[in-house]
Structure 1
């Protein structure tokens, strides 16, 4: 018969021996010290925690008190659940349901949300109760992501997905309130990278030669429109109007808009559409939940490298920066740039006017020429003589 976990039995254990009872596990270590851990199921979620060592003052009573506290907190959480819920909802299950509901209601930026949840949020938070995740957990998440070389901006975008999930959870009655504040990561105000004409040519050549067919049209569309990644990958054939030279974007970041396109891009898309099956819905079809391609990270990095560029500096968003920067440097007025880029405010577009000094210097030269002309122009006498 297995002995009960009592103080007497614990004292009798020899190094290497261990006992488990009532969710408490005790192990006598090789140095004679003893280590307490607890392993219990609470509201369908397994909780495994190291309580501590005997040499640190940890006792059997403290381990028993920890189990009671965890169960008491679970009971308190059940009392504060929204009406109709009996068991706290785990993060993984909530995330899956969240994506299904957004998909059904044609939520925006679904590709990014699915990516954030599948690759990072679900693996980290797993089945932890949705109501038990707090700011400290988010700080640990940010620390782990930084250790994996994620930049602050990337972490902030993942937190944006997390916060959106929680706001919807409150709206749908899963939670009473959002239980934390987002620990926003400080982002460096770094100079935006954009491509020169020569680099654009090299990138397009590399994209055309790549084994993945989507990468060339994606790159061409981005450079000719300044559209965002998700906007491009989710283009429907029916939303392309070659006569008016526009692509309708029903779920853009700042609201639905008609995206102007260049003559060259219109000619290219005319050829692509002619080769596609007439009943094809998406410009970039794929065997995915959405029906279209949602990510091209590896292919784009491969193309950037083949073009002789640095994949750590040149990202997919660099194409958008490039298109907008070249518009500004060409002398296009900022309101028109805003109309093309789809930015919410003019202030967001104004950032691009400071990315390179060439067009600014050209403007200053024009000012200088005007002033110089005025200085050398014969002056009229104030007396009229």
Structure 2
């Protein structure tokens, strides 16, 4: 049997150009069926190992599931990424992954941007979705190009980094010490101010993380362990706290309430992170070295740390010294 017409009017190709190698396909027209038969016969003559590749009709949700099973499960934020990717696939009406339209993706992105979703969040999602295609292509699960490879991320508007003055630090600590019912808030705040740690890094600390005047942070955003010296006074305070109250528990809500009771007003999303910015800003203002600050904060590149360079005492002073003389 080579080419036969089916009851619904389509044409079925069933050929065996060489013994043991059989190709089948259902085509809409007889001409298409004849072309497929001729292609198979000629290709097999030139290359016996040749095989016609069937169109990949797997849905985007299927690829996301495969990505998670083969790669995403090993990422620290793999479950969170998969959740976001599943929602994205649903918003795009779960298209055939190979036929995902960059135009359709960009249209959905515009609607969400106008609906208040931040450009940074949308750029993160684009990176996650691109990674699905790139990883699966590298693993040989798909054979086609990434359909979003040429989609450009949104341009981000750099935000001013908020940090606390010495007076504001004192006001915040006063609010925590006098009206906060969570005993863990103060030591966590002190750790962030003394080391530039992220709130989550400080909150996860255990008594074994402090030893001989050094705090060691593990499970960090970069995945790297880093150790920061602290004062003997802070070390003693932490040891005493853990003996009395035990290991830290969630305290971010109590911190936000304490902050709200002060006169300090910070941009949305910078409440706890302002403590990290405060350490970095004071460090640079007091003459600290940018490369040292990079290691303390755990930045993978100095480019991120350079955001604080404008606060150095001599920042851009050469603009005055080396510019052209004015009449």
| TM-score of the alignment, normalized to the shorter chain, above 0.5 | yes
Q: Which of 157, 161, 179 does residue 147 from structure 2 map onto?
A: 179
Q: Distance in 1 between matches of 2:95 and 2:245?
A: 46
Contact 1:305 1:311 in 2 (8 A): no
**Most deviating of 192-201 and 169-178:** 169-178
What's the CA shift for 1:300? 6.0
3-state SS, counterpart of residue 122 of structure 2 = helix
| CA offset digits 1:92-123 (Å, max 9, x no partner) | x6556655766753x245586477557x6366
Match of 1:260 among 200, 220, 228: 228
Aligned: 1:340 with 2:296: yes
Aligned residue among 302, 305, 310 for 2:260: 305
Query: 1:237 maps to which residue?
Result: 206
Alpha-carbon deviation of 1:194? 1.7
Residue 188 (1) aligns with residue 157 (2):
yes
Contact 1:153–1:187, Cα closer than 8 Å, also in 2 = yes
Point out where structure 2 has 5 or more consecutive residues left out of the alignment: 1-52, 322-327
- Cα–Cα, structure 1 residues 260 and 111, in superposed 2: closer, same or farther, change >3 Å? farther
Residue 197 of structure 1: CA displacement? 1.9
Query: Residue 79 of structure 1 is aligned with which of 47, 54, 60?
Result: 54
Partner of 2:287: 331
Contact 2:162 2:266 in 1 (8 A): no
Distance of 1:102 and 1:284 partners within structure 2: 31
Match of 2:41 in 1: none
Q: 1:352 to 1:173 in 2, by over 3 A?
A: same
Distance in 2 separating the partners of 1:271 and 1:304: 25
SS of residue paired to 2:314 = helix
Contact kept? 1:88, 1:129, Cα under 8 Å? yes
In 2: Cα distance, 1:260 partner to 1:244 partner:
9
C-alpha distance in structure 2 between counterparts of 1:308 and 1:115, whole Å: 38
Match in the other structure for 1:360:
314
Q: Give the structure 2 partner of residue 321 of structure 1.
A: 277
SS class of match (1:224): helix
Question: Distance in 2 between the 1:215 and 1:95 partners?
Answer: 39
Residues of 2 paired with 1:299 and 1:145: CA distance? 32
Q: Secondary structure at the match of 2:163?
A: coil
Residues 53-82 of structure 1 deviation map (CA, whole Å, 9 limit, x = unaligned)? xxxxxxxxxxxxxxxxxxxxxxxxx9343x
1:152 matched to 2:152: no
Kept after mapping to 1: 8 A contact 2:162/2:267:
no
The structural deviation recorded for 1:352 is 0.7
Residues 248 and 310 of structure 1: is their aligned pair in 2 closer, same or farther, counting only changes over 3 Å?
A: closer
TM-score, scaled to structure 2: 0.61
CA distance in 2, matches of 1:340, 1:197: 21
Using the alignment, how far apart are the partners of 2:300 and 2:277 within structure 1? Answer: 15
Change (3 A) 1:276 1:158: farther
Counterpart among 131, 134, 137 of residue 104 in structure 2: 137
- Structure 2 counterpart of 1:199, from 157, 161, 168: 168
The aligned runs of 1:206-217 (5 Å cut-off) are 206=175, 209=179, 216-217=186-187
Give the distance between the partners of 1:141 and 1:265, measured in 2 at CA. Answer: 50
- Please report the RMSD computed on the Cα atoms of aligned residues, expressed in angstroms: 4.1
Task: Count the aligned residue pairs.
Answer: 262
- 8 Å Cα contact 1:111-1:230 kept in structure 2: no
- What residue ranges of structure 1 are gaps of 5+ in the alignment? 1-77, 82-86, 286-292, 369-385
